[in-house]
């Protein structure tokens, strides 16, 4: 690791005050310290935000919850309010990483985690995300884990988070703060597509701190599932994942949420495709139709082309499972 200086922030104002160029926040450290060891990132100063008073889940007036950005992923997944009202979120979090990592990783850090593209990690190879303008090694290289939707000529990386796929489905809001003030970012606008600026993963500005993630009242606790397909059954990133949530009146779909992980530079939610299902019957044929529509414009790069069919099947499976699943607790 390159040398850096270190301070601990105890208040939000100090934390954002110290966030100048060259400084980075460190939360769980599970992504940042890894990237620093690999020399992919080299901040000159670390602001330890683990002591900020953002460690609670509170109920909001509108019937939702507000999760402090420094909540650990494990504590979030096992929190009674999340288990009971947002079991899709709990399931997605517990599908990710390992128990040790989930004990360290924070909710804010999970949103900010960077791609696992091999070339992004390998400083000997060109990568537009790591070094803008140097080229993309993945497009004509090994791209088995790469994107099939929303990619650009500059970058075909995916966002690796499981938690974020559930947050996209559940219409979360990200609350942020800087010296300039506070603002809220709708979850679907938080992560971005690569376009010709793939070095930007999201719309958080350099001086901003994530303070909380808010969920609206509707948690789809009755019919939901998170399907994660990966190379081994546990402790591996998703090749494709699907967060599916349904509201049913008998067998009629009254509301639906569908988000995909492992397929794009951001959690992929196609709200137009969702409307295809509203008012329809919860049948395999209808699910198949929506899967076809979501993947209609998908494009693979050789090694990852299998993901197109895999994603379709995962969508159908997730929707069938969500239809059948009754919330147990």
Partner 1 sequence: MSAILETEMLPGVSSPGVAAPSVSPTSLITLKINGVEKKLPLAPWTTLLDALREHMDLTGTKKGCDHGQCGACTVLVNGKRINSCLTLAVMQEGNEITTIEGLAKGEELHPLQEAFVEHDAFQCGYCTPGQICSAIGLMNEGKAQSRADIRELMSGNLCRCGAYSNIVDAIDQVMNERGKHA
Binding site for partner 1 (CB under 8 A): 1-7, 17-18, 20-23, 26, 28-30, 33-34, 36-37, 42, 44-46, 48, 50, 74, 78, 97-101, 103-104, 233-235
Best CA proximity match to 112, nearest among 168, 195, 51, 30: 30
Among ligand SF4, partner 1, ligand FAD, none, the one that 281 touches (CB under a kind-dependent 5 to 8 A) is none
Of these, 69, 94, 147, 253, which contacts ligand FAD (CB under 6 A)?
69
Window 107-166: residues binding ligand FAD (CB under 6 A) = 108-110, 112-113, 160-163
Alpha carbon distance 247, 228 (integer Å)? 21
Region from 25-33, 89-97, 121-129, 243-251 binding ligand SF4, contact rule CB under 6 A: 121-129
CB-CB neighbours of 247 under 10 Å: 16
Among ligand FAD, ligand SF4, partner 1, none, the one that 50 touches (CB under a kind-dependent 5 to 8 A) is partner 1
Is residue 79 classed as helix, strand or coil in its secondary structure? coil
User: In sequence order, what are the residues at sequence separation of 6 or more whose Cβ sits closer than 8 angstroms to the Cβ of residue 78?
Assistant: 90
Residue 198 CB, shortest distance to ligand SF4, in Å, is: 5
Looking at the Cβ atoms of 97 and 167, the one nearer to partner 1 is 97
Best CA proximity match to 125, nearest among 191, 39, 204: 39
Among partner 1, ligand SF4, ligand FAD, none, the one that 24 touches (CB under a kind-dependent 5 to 8 A) is ligand FAD
Looking at the Cβ atoms of 132 and 279, the one nearer to ligand FAD is 132
CB-CB neighbours of 233 under 10 Å: 7
User: In sequence order, what are the residues at sequence separation of 6 or more whose Cβ sits closer than 8 angstroms to the Cβ of residue 136?
Assistant: 119, 126, 127, 128, 153, 154, 155, 156, 198
Region from 154-162, 169-177, 306-314, 319-327 binding ligand SF4, contact rule CB under 6 A: 154-162
- Say if residues 162 and 241 touch (Cβ distance below 8 Å): yes
Alpha carbon distance 31, 110 (integer Å)? 9
- Which positions touch ligand FAD (CB under 6 A)? 24-32, 34, 49, 69, 73, 96-97, 101, 104-106, 108-110, 112-113, 160-163, 209-210, 237
């Amino acid at each position: 690791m390159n040398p850096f200086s270190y301070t601990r922030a105890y208040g939000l104002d100090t934390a954002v005050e110290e966030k100048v160029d060259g400084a980075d926040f460190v939360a769980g450290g599970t992504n940042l310290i890894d990237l620093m060891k690999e020399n992919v990132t080299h901040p000159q100063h670390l602001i330890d935000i683990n002591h900020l008073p953002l460690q609670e889940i509170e109920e909001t007036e509108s019937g939702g919850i507000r999760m402090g950005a420094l909540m650990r992923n494990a504590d979030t997944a096992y929190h009674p309010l999340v288990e009971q009202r947002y079991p899709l979120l709990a399931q997605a979090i517990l599908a990710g990483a390992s128990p040790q990592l989930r004990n360290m990783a924070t909710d804010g850090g999970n949103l900010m985690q960077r791609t696992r593209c091999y070339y992004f990690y390998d400083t000997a190879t060109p990568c537009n995300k790591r070094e803008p303008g140097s080229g993309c090694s993945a497009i004509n290289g090994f791209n088995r884990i790469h994107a099939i939707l929303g990619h650009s000529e500059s970058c075909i990386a995916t966002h690796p988070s499981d938690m974020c796929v559930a947050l996209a489905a559940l219409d979360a809001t990200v609350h942020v703060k800087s010296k300039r003030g506070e603002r809220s970012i709708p979850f679907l606008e938080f992560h971005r597509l690569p376009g010709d600026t793939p070095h930007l993963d999201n719309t958080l500005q350099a001086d901003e701190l994530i303070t909380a993630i808010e969920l609206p009242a509707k948690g789809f606790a009755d019919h939901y599932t998170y399907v994660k397909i990966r190379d081994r059954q546990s402790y591996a990133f998703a090749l494709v994942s699907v967060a599916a949530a349904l509201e049913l009146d008998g067998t009629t779909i009254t509301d639906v949420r569908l988000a995909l992980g492992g397929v794009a530079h951001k959690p992929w939610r196609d709200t137009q495709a969702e409307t295809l299902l509203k008012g329809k019957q919860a049948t395999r044929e209808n699910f198949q139709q929506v899967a076809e529509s979501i993947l209609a414009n998908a494009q693979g790069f050789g090694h990852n082309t299998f993901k197109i069919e895999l994603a379709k099947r995962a969508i159908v499976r997730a929707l069938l499972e969500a239809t059948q699943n009754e919330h147990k607790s």
